[in-house]
Amino acid sequence: MSGTLRTFVLMAALTGLLAALGWLLGGTQGAILALVLAGAGNLWAWWNSDKALLRQHNAVPVTEANGGDLIALVRQLADNAGLPMPAVYVLQTDQPNAFATGRNPQNAAVAVTQGLLRTLSRDELAGVIAHELAHIRSRDTLIMTVTATLAGAIAIMGNMLMWSGNRERQGGMIGALLLMILAPLAATLVQMAISRTREFDADRDGALIAGSSRGLASALVKIANAAGRTVNIPAERNPASAAMFIINPLSGMRMDRMFATHPPTEERIARLQALAAG
């Protein structure tokens, strides 16, 4: 199934969940309103979800004036990948991490954290950026971005349901039980839509773009070791966006583990090392 088709299927499934939550919040009228809002939300997510995610993660644009070296590195790697130059952002968090977003290569962005820039060498940083460019080239970013946005909307409506007085009117315990089902179901849809194999593919393709797998392998070691010791507050507030990052940014508290879509980091590193040996 193509990435675009998977995105439409995902939108339909999440729209159904939003309608169910709307019914729990406001009965038939709530379901109709949720469907209308979901339709508008789907259109909005298709065109603007990348910008919304960047805002949620406090992304600051990088220009030649405030980050010429980073811009030059991204431009060189984008040329290697045969891609247009993406927009570049820095995320205001000490956790070393990165993600790419955008509905297509012509409207794409690469975001790296302050912690990543401080932690990695130039070769390691090149490996990470090349990994993100590989996601852009394979158009993984479309379904990843839309998934994060729509699943986040379900989480917000779920919280509204939990605290709304309408819970009593719509069945009290039944509403609470349905919420307990819907939240994991939203997370399951995220995991089904975003295949774990995409990270292995992006690792391999990123190594080819960067010209070496050693930088990315070394970067993954550093990021994995540091990420667990540093809380990424914007990611914790929107756990559905975790799949966007090169390494899971979540602490694992509460329901975070449901949204984990990354393969084991050790396996990714082993594959990169085998690629270097080969």
Written as one string, the DSSP assignment of 153-178 is HHHHHHHHHHH-THHHHTTTHHHHHH
What local confidence, expressed as pLDDT, does residue 244 receive? 85
What number of CA atoms fall less than 13 Å from residue 256's CA on the CB side?
17
What local confidence, expressed as pLDDT, does residue 195 receive? 61
> What tokens were used for 81?
């990948």
| C-alpha to C-alpha distance for 86 and 171, rounded to whole angstroms | 49
Q: Please give the positions annotated as active site.
A: 132
What local confidence, expressed as pLDDT, does residue 1 receive? 47
Among candidates 101, 120, 118, 122, which has minimal Cα distance to 110?
101
Coil, strand or helix at 84: coil
Check: CB of residue 230 under 8 Å from CB of residue 94. yes
Longest Cα separation, the chain: 64
What local confidence, expressed as pLDDT, does residue 255 receive? 47
Question: Phi and psi for 255 in degrees, rounded to 5?
Answer: -100, 15
Q: Is residue 200 packed enough to be buried (19+ CB in 10 Å), middle (13-18) or exposed (0-12)?
A: middle
pTM to 2 decimals?
A: 0.77
Coil, strand or helix at 2: coil
What local confidence, expressed as pLDDT, does residue 167 receive? 46
What local confidence, expressed as pLDDT, does residue 158 receive? 58
pLDDT in tens, the chain (278 residues): 455 566 566 667 667 766 776 776 677 777 787 777 766 766 666 666 678 889 889 999 999 998 999 999 999 999 999 999 999 999 999 999 999 998 889 999 999 999 999 999 999 999 999 999 999 998 887 777 666 666 666 666 555 555 554 444 444 555 555 555 555 555 565 555 556 678 899 999 999 999 999 999 999 999 999 887 889 999 888 777 787 899 989 876 554 455 556 788 999 999 999 998 87
Residues in the chain: 278
First to last CA, the chain: 31
